[in-house]
Structure 1
Amino acid sequence: MHLRSILAIARKDLIDTVQNKAALVVLLLPIFMAVLFSFINSLISGAPTRLLIYNPAHSPVERLVSAAFSGSTITHAASAAEVETAFGPDGTHKQSAYALGLIVPPNFESDLRAGRHPQLQLFINGDNLGTSQRALLTQALIDYGRQVVNPEPPLAVLTSTINPPQPNTFSENSKAFFIMYVLVMTIMNATGIVPGLIIEEKEKKTLRMLLVSPLSFGDIIAGKLLLGLAYQVLLLTIVFLIMQGFTGNLPWLLLFLLIGACLTNALGLLLGCLFNTVSAAGAAQGIITFFFIVPALFVGPLEQLVGGQSFMTIIKAIPIYYLADGIYKALTSQAPASLMLTDMGIVGGTTLLFCLLAVWSLRRQAMVVSSI
């Protein structure tokens, strides 16, 4: 393969795609979905998160807590007792104007650097924040301490919760669900990009012209896959920025997005080789879209509501379910590595299968074209 040839093919296809208004609308659909779902999530989330913080020494840990919420307002308490009074003892039920309270000791930073294991007091209002949000915030505070002192937990977080929430409610995980769903739909776009680029060469009778040029069949296919991957990276980045999706376990999330991109590009390549007309490939893409949309709907909050139903066995037989499940678990950081590896293994095995089928189809396609 030749890099310059591959880039030339990708550049040609980029120009053709931009000039094709119908294809451009389809490619931009995930952005419209991200804006819509962000609006819906803002309606569900309600008013800005109100924080009551006692921080006499102005520790930077206050900024860490505030940054954990997309919309937050901070009220500074005059004393630690003011925070304790606003929330009350752990497990009580009472009305509170604040979603979260924090007491930072006056000598917190100096004690942390000296290795004295200072204690932060965290107050959670279960009417506003869920169990997974509390766990993520507690871990973030401990990680903040580890930036100063590496060995062992450098600080203690004493947590009290009023109005204890029901675990894993839809309002608690709605943002993670919406982000996961849009990401899955964005990844799915490659099943329409790559086959369209290949079939276009067939319909315009330009494939044989390209093959008699210095370009190889591998250069042509690599250029089209490169463009498909570039679109995915661009769209995923835009969706992340719109939905503020950089939450949870980011390394696992990026890994699932990468293998998901490989899966859909391999599937798109297979479709492009199997079909000779856009209409036939479009019908197949419609069926494939169904197998992306439905499994993703039954991941997360909805799965917890209908988990005992018999049809979930059918849903879990679809490999895309494990891609959506892995992305959702990475966003919420609520699953051990063993479960994440199970999802990754199933998605990776499916990707390998599609790759092998695509390679076989490519060789067959090259033999047919070369014999004409």
Structure 2
Amino acid sequence: MNLNVVLAIFRKDLITSVKSKNLLIILLTPVFLSLLFNSTISLTDNTVVPVAVYDEGSSTDFIEYLSSRNNYDVTIADSAVKSEELLYNQKVAAIMLVPKGFSAEIKSGLTPSLNIIVNPYEAKSVLFLQTYKDIIMDFTGQRYPVNITLNTLSGDLQSRFNIPVWIMFTVIFVGMMVLPNTLTTEKEKKTLDAILVSPASEKDVIYGKSLFGLFLTILISLVIIIINRGFIGNFLSVTIFIVLGSAVFTGFGLLIASYADNYSSASLYSTICMAPMILLALLADLSREIGYISHLVPSTYVFYGIKSAMLNNSGISDLYPEIGTLLIFNILVYVLTFRVLKKKRYS
């Protein structure tokens, strides 16, 4: 390996990246999504659910009670058909069809019926489904047979639980998108051919390109940690998994770029490969079958390692199987990439 050549390739890519709008969009995407998600969490604390109510008669006290709730925006419909129109037109998240004599039957100790229709595709319907039973029980004066104390995490703590997800997404997204952007652009401009016929070897190209991708991936990961105030847990272990994860997904990006002939193809391949990488890691605990399959992709080990280090303060001694597995993935990816570039050089 020629260190001067490697650093020259790194500097060239770094200078070129400053002028590339596509690369800037790639780098800012994880940051923007993280900020957007955090702001969304804070906004959901004050969510008001639009609800339409049709009263067949004599239950004005129930409607007034619903209207007094801070988390419900009640619209009184003139008919059942009108309330259903509001639901189907997505003006409300749910409708309540109150039968005649509803309040009177409750006061008499009877059990009346209440027809509720919910739009499952409306995001605010989730809050309605979580609250409507409690509101009805409060109105009827009934209580649960046990005293329940429910505490929810504050928005700040919730965002901390999401930091490992955003770091994993950043490592995968930036790692697998940066090099396909730069390397395929060089292919189209024939500058890669010039590099390969120069004294630079395939290893020099791989090391130089990987160093550039690794630098950007780690940089954006640190930005994600800073804006989410994620300096928690065992930061040494977190750093190791960021570096190993960045290296392996930068290698994947380099491998994709080596196979693809142009940027459009490389971008398509990267997107197709990213989807299972992200989903399998996130859904690994959903079922035993998905858990088995998820162990075939490096993202699972990156996500588990970062999550354990941040939230459980796990050290290197606790996570050595995941570290060893990521090292194996790195070796396999870069050996394969080296062979692909070598084959293209002599083809």
Alignment TM-score > 0.5, same fold: yes
Uncovered stretches (5+) of structure 1, i.e. residues with no partner? 47-162
* 1:25 match: 25
* 1:297 match: 282
Q: Indicate the SS of the match to 2:232.
A: coil
Deviation of residue 285 (structure 1)? 0.4
Equivalent AA in structure 1 for residue 167 of structure 2: L
* 1:277 match: 262
* 2:13 match: 13
Q: Does the 8 Å contact 1:184/1:296 carry over to 2?
A: no
| Identity level (%) | 29
Q: Does the 8 Å contact 1:229/1:261 carry over to 2?
A: yes
Query: Kindly tell me: are residues 216 and 352 of structure 1, through their superposed partners in 2, closer, same or farther at Cα, counting changes over 3 Å?
Result: closer
* 1:60 match: none
Query: Kindly tell me: are residues 336 and 225 of structure 1, through their superposed partners in 2, closer, same or farther at Cα, counting changes over 3 Å?
Result: closer
Equivalent AA in structure 2 for residue 219 of structure 1: D
Q: CA RMSD in A?
A: 3.1
Residue by residue over 1:45-69, the C-alpha shift from the partner in whole angstroms, topping out at 9 and shown as x without a partner, is 99xxxxxxxxxxxxxxxxxxxxxxx
Query: Kindly tell me: are residues 336 and 2 of structure 1, through their superposed partners in 2, closer, same or farther at Cα, counting changes over 3 Å?
Result: closer
* 2:322 match: 343
Residue 179, structure 1, aligned to residue 163, structure 2: yes
Query: Kindly tell me: are residues 263 and 31 of structure 1, through their superposed partners in 2, closer, same or farther at Cα, counting changes over 3 Å?
Result: same
* 1:361 match: 340
Query: Kindly tell me: are residues 312 and 216 of structure 1, through their superposed partners in 2, closer, same or farther at Cα, counting changes over 3 Å?
Result: closer
| Aligned partner of 2:241 among 243, 256, 259 | 256
Residue by residue over 1:198-225, the C-alpha shift from the partner in whole angstroms, topping out at 9 and shown as x without a partner, is 2222211222323444544433333222
Q: Indicate the SS of the match to 1:33.
A: helix
Residue 36, structure 1, aligned to residue 36, structure 2: yes
* 2:297 match: 318
Deviation of residue 179 (structure 1)? 0.6
Q: Indicate the SS of the match to 2:230.
A: coil
Q: Indicate the SS of the match to 1:192.
A: helix
Aligned residues: 245
Deviation of residue 257 (structure 1)? 0.9
Query: Kindly tell me: are residues 208 and 337 of structure 1, through their superposed partners in 2, closer, same or farther at Cα, counting changes over 3 Å?
Result: closer
Residue by residue over 1:245-268, the C-alpha shift from the partner in whole angstroms, topping out at 9 and shown as x without a partner, is 110111211111111011112212
Query: Kindly tell me: are residues 363 and 215 of structure 1, through their superposed partners in 2, closer, same or farther at Cα, counting changes over 3 Å?
Result: closer
Residue by residue over 1:152-202, the C-alpha shift from the partner in whole angstroms, topping out at 9 and shown as x without a partner, is xxxxxxxxxxx9889x98989733431111111211111111232222222
Deviation of residue 29 (structure 1)? 0.8
* 2:110 match: none
Equivalent AA in structure 2 for residue 326 of structure 1: G
Q: For residues 159-198 of structure 1, what are the structure 2 equivalents within 5 Å?
A: 174-188=158-172, 189-198=174-183
Query: Kindly tell me: are residues 314 and 249 of structure 1, through their superposed partners in 2, closer, same or farther at Cα, counting changes over 3 Å?
Result: same
